[in-house]
Amino acid sequence: MARQICQHIIGLNPQRIGDLDKFVPPTPVSSDEVDDVEAIDDDDNDARVAEMDQKKESNQHEELIHQDFLLNSDLKVGQILLDTGIRVKAFARFQLGQDLGDED
């Protein structure tokens, strides 16, 4: 499984790991809940919620634990780490031809 996590990091390029202790696995949303949310008609609130969701989603796509797992997009990487007991302490991802800065 560790090799598959490495493959995920190579493929999806997360910027950081994220706090696994604060990770909450996503829960499936029922169609009733979607209907309830759609029934609320408050344009200002909708705009604020959409902006917050976009910011949160952008942040989460950069964190390893919140990304959909490369080999099974039904799972988040955080859930796999919790289920397997694997702890990612750090990672470094290099790209062929990547500029690593000045060499003095």
Residue 92 covered by a domain? no
Domain that holds residue 34: 2-84
- Tell me the C-alpha to C-alpha distance, in Å, between residue 75 and each of 9, 40, 47, 80, 97: 15, 30, 29, 7, 32
Residue 98 covered by a domain? no
pLDDT per position as a tens digit, 92-101: 988 888 787 7
Residue 96 covered by a domain? no
Radius of gyration over every alpha carbon of the chain, rounded to an integer in angstroms = 18
- CATH number, domain at 63? 3.30.479
Q: Is the pLDDT of residue 64 over 90?
A: yes
**Domain count of the chain?**
1
Look up the pTM and report it: 0.64
